[in-house]
Amino acid sequence: MYSFRNDYSEGAHPKVLQALTDTNLVQTCGYGLDPICEEARDLIRSLCDAPEADVHFLTGGTQTNLTVIASLLQPYEAVIAAHTGHVNCHETGAIEATGHKVCTAHSPDGKVTPAMVESVLAIHADGGEHMVSPRLVYISDTTEIGTVYTKAELIALRHCCDEHGLLLFLDGARLGSALTSPENDLTLPELAALTDVFTIGGTKNGTLFGEAVIMTVPCAHFRWHMKQRGGMLAKGRLLGVQYLTILKDNLYFDIARHANEMAFRLRDGFLALGYQFPVPSPSNQQFPVMKVRTAEKLAAMGFEFQVERPIDEEHTMYRFVTSWATPESAVDDLLNALAQCQ
């Protein structure tokens, strides 16, 4: 019995909890202006080799995405995203609620390409003031279906954005999984150099909550947007403590690598039993196809996972997600149960 539903079912890494306890009675000023948050910002700037970057701490992914996008766009400007993009299909219209349309392109692997960007631009080319003006390209790494961007792909997107005067925003809710994937060849400094804004997600990798925003594009009033959108914690130091802890001594990447390794153990076990993966994922999200009745048997045995999409009347693609806290024994128990369902 174990949940593979998501990678935020657990609380926080013990070192994060210990750091929160150790600093619990330390008095600081509020709203993220305390010395702990400043130390965390300096650490992030150092890790990203981006000494001039603005670093902000927010609590959740949707809140972060809508705040970043609202802060950078004029009211008539729009976002370009893959049809699978989180801002398009898993944020309850949050971006549209800020007044910005999300213009999508179909993506078989969840990634945005220059050709997709240009296809959206072409649709709006002759609309003038009668249509929204695409201004920002939104991507996620890992993507919503577990794929990762290569350096060459990100460079190509950067060139495309520069050619058309677009901003590039990378949602790093699962950045730890992306940067420790065997298919990754990107680094934090390269992300800082190739994007205008990116995030380092903590919620899905060892913190209780938290998303760090790294901005290399000027946005003088970002904190005003944070406050207006409900993203500014009075006890902002709680975010600083968590990020300072999780990013020290490579902890963030060590635990993300563990999540990936557990996902690969799960994937290899499914493959050994003859199951197929229509979308190969080199990260902590895996998408096997099973008979519906097999999935029902697994669920009845106490395992939790999510429906991704139907394949046919008898088969469905499911999502299994591992986390920094997933033990090998849980994966093995799942695979043993799956074998019994054959």
CATH 3.40.640.10 is held by the domain 14-250: yes
Give 145's strand partners. Answer: none
How confident is the model over 90-96, as a mean pLDDT?
A: 94
CA quadruple 67, 69, 72, 73: dihedral positive or negative?
negative
What pLDDT is stored for residue 41 in this prediction? 98
- Predicted pLDDT at 342: 77
CA distance 98 to 95: 5
Q: Does domain 2-7+252-340 have CATH number 3.30.450.30?
A: no
Q: Tell me, what's the pLDDT at 73?
A: 97
Q: What secondary structure, in 3-state letters, does 25-78 show?
A: CCCCCCCCCCHHHHHHHHHHHHHCCCCCCEEEEECCHHHHHHHHHHHHCCCCEE
Helix 114-124 and helix 151-164, axial crossing angle in degrees, nearest 10:
20
The tokens for 193 are: 């150099």
The pLDDT of residue 1 is 80
Strands laid side by side in the 77-82 sheet: 54-58, 211-215, 197-201, 167-171, 133-140, 77-82, 102-105
Judge whether residue 157 has pLDDT over 80: yes
Pull the structure tokens for residue 198. Answer: 């990116």
List of residues 6+ apart from 184 with CB closer than 8 A: 148, 150, 178, 282
The predicted-structure confidence for 20-58, as pLDDT tens digits, reads as follows 999 999 999 999 999 999 999 999 999 999 999 999 999
Spans of all domains in the chain: 2-7+252-340, 14-250
User: What pLDDT shows up at residue 206?
Assistant: 98
Q: What is the 3-state secondary structure (H, E, C) of the chain?
A: CEECCCCCCCCCCHHHHHHHHHCCCCCCCCCCCCHHHHHHHHHHHHHCCCCCCEEEEECCHHHHHHHHHHHHCCCCEEEEEECCCHHHHCCCCHHHHCCCCEEEECCCCCCCCHHHHHHHHHHHCCCHHHCCEEEEEEEECCCCCCCCCCHHHHHHHHHHHHHHCCEEEEECCCHHHHHCCCCCCCCHHHHHHHCCEEEEECCCCCCCCCEEEEECCCCCCHHHHHHHCCCCCCCCHHHHHHHHHHCHHHHHHHHHHHHHHHHHHHHHHHHHCCCECCCCCCCCEECCEEEHHHHHHHHHCCEECEEEEECCCCEEEEEEECCCCCCHHHHHHHHHHHHHCC
Quote the pLDDT of residue 174: 98
Check whether the bond before 142 is cis (ω within 30° of 0).
yes
Share of the chain above pLDDT 70, in %: 100
Q: What does the mean pLDDT of the chain come to?
A: 97
Name the β-bridge partners of 316.
290, 310
Percent of the chain residues past pLDDT 90, beyond the cut: 98
Q: What is the band of 127 on the pLDDT scale with cuts at 50, 70, 90?
A: confident
pLDDT tens figures, 110-123: 999 999 999 999 99
285-333: pLDDT as tens digits:
999 999 999 999 999 999 999 999 999 999 999 999 999 999 999 999 9
pLDDT per residue as tens digits for the range 166-216: 999 999 999 999 999 999 999 999 999 999 999 999 999 999 999 999 999
Q: What is the pLDDT of residue 201?
A: 98
